[in-house]
Amino acid sequence: MEPPSYSWISPFFSFVLLLSFQAVTLADSHQNFLQCLSLHSENNGTSNISQVIYTPNNSSFSSVLEFSIRNFRFSTPTTPKPRVIITPSQVSHVQAAILCSQKYGLQIRIRSGGHDYEALSYVSNVPFVILDLINLSEISIDVKNKTAWVQSGATIGQLYYKISEKSKTLAFPAGVCPTVGVGGHFSGGGYGFLLRKFGLAADNVVDALIIDVKGRLLNRESMGEDLFWAIRGGGGASFGVILAWKINLVTVPSTVTVFTVHRTLEQNATKIVNKWQYVADKLPEDLYVRLYLTRLNSSSGRTTIRVTFECLFLGGVDFLVPLMQQSLPELGLVKSDCKEMSWIDSILYFGGFEGESVDVLRNRTPTSFDTFKAKSDYVKEPIPEAAFEGIYERFYEQEAEGAVMILTPYGGLMNKISESETPFPHRAGNIYKIQHLVSWQGGGAEATERHINWIRRLYSYMAPFVSRNPRAAYMNYRDLDIGTNNNNGYTSFKQASVWGFKYFKNNFNRLVRVKTMVDPGNFFINEQSIPPLYSRKKKGD
């Protein structure tokens, strides 16, 4: 009798052996990477990097990962997780992370606050590590020279708090949400209620410290003006790890005036919005009036659209009310709608913390968490009044319960800064910017698909009424719908230019040249990072 054949087992055992070999290789590579981090730190005179390294085997790994996640769309069991999280507390830790990640073929994702809309700072589809800058959050204020050094892991709320400790008439033109990290906010542009008077956060950066792909610590002088230009609006994560920023502080009056006024469709909101389009960018630069549209479900069950007008005026109420009555009489503003306060109190007011201690700005944890998707547009000509009816129709749909359109006025100083002064090109010629956003709670993948499809339909509807050739977008409101790189290390100029010209217009070409100069191997890469002109190809291409 012939012995039974076991030839069918061989492929199976070969497969098992292959998996076992890959697992051992992966484990060895992981251990070697950790050893590399320690070695580089020791060579730089420090030996405590182990205290800022978190692996999946560490009991704190999940809490460190999740602490700075601001969009629950990227906090699911199937969301790719990093091999390692590093929370550097000194320069040598960052240098070690860069050099060892290159050596062992790992991507770096750089996180300062975690507010990036598409989670590019903490998610990747290839093996990666997170460089979380949360421990690099020191802030030094120089009142005499009206400057400050701010580390990238600080939040803008912490910056405002530190300024308020030193002065009641110094400020900085950055965003409203206090938990946004400085690193991403400044490097992508960064704007807030002082936009029309003082420009963007990036417009007020005068120096920076960056660690490049070679592990070198560079300041403005040593990095050169091309790279310094690129990181002020072109995104820092494409070029290196920005450790700190030197900024010019601005002077504001001891008293400013704010108001928040609501109008529904039944209160002639459409007529007021239409008039606002014609005057918002032409108002004195001390005056900023933005508006946002939401759906309002009344207690009677009736659904309508509510438009909220928010204002910051760098002056007193007795100057503001006549100015508004002359410029936008349709709003019907009266003195009792307004409140006088200090600039730092206006930060609390617009952040939803009116009446609370300024200490709340030091808190890194947002008061609410959402799952959301956002997009952006720029408007160069007033949108026809009739076109708002189509917007309202979409806001009445089921998925729009958590939808908002925020209209941010331009003009003022934004008209006076050249498109090429920084990579941020959206200057003169724009009446206002739109942020489209929809948020929702729970519902899993099906709810996510429905809501994303809803905002895509709204975005499609808006196409005839916004900028064209290109249809511009704001880089800090990342939107992977408008194009992505192949983040495995090969990105073509043509592929990246799909989204690149929307964010940066003709400045994209210069950004590519800078990238080619400082990171020709394309180590600092994500789904929308600037590519070098001749990006490296995969083997076999």
Residues annotated catalytic, as ranges:
477
Pick left, alpha or beta for residue 278 (phi over 0 → left; psi -120 to 50 → alpha; otherwise beta).
alpha
Residues 6+ apart with CB under 8 A from 410: 195, 196, 280, 281, 426, 427, 430, 431, 432, 433
Dihedral sign (CA 98, 102, 106, 109): positive
User: 311-339 burial, b for 16+ CB within 10 Å, e for fewer?
Assistant: bbbbbebeebbebbeebbebbebeeebbe
3-state helix, strand, coil in the chain (%, to 5): 40, 20, 40
């009816």: which residue's tokens? 389
Residues 6+ apart with CB under 8 A from 473: 375, 376, 377, 378, 479, 482, 499, 502, 503
Report CA-CA distances (Å) from 462 to 376, 456, 468: 11, 10, 11
């590590």: which residue's tokens? 129
- Tell me which residue of 131, 137, 118 sits closest to 64, measured CA to CA: 131
- Tell me which residue of 408, 386, 381, 384 sits closest to 467, measured CA to CA: 381
Report CA-CA distances (Å) from 393 to 125, 269, 295, 304: 37, 15, 10, 10
Within 10 Å of residue 67's Cβ, how many Cβ atoms?
Answer: 13
Which residue spans within 172-283 are E strands per DSSP?
A: 205-211, 217-218, 241-248, 250-251, 256-264
Sheet containing strand 53-54, strands side by side? 53-54, 84-86, 128-132, 107-111
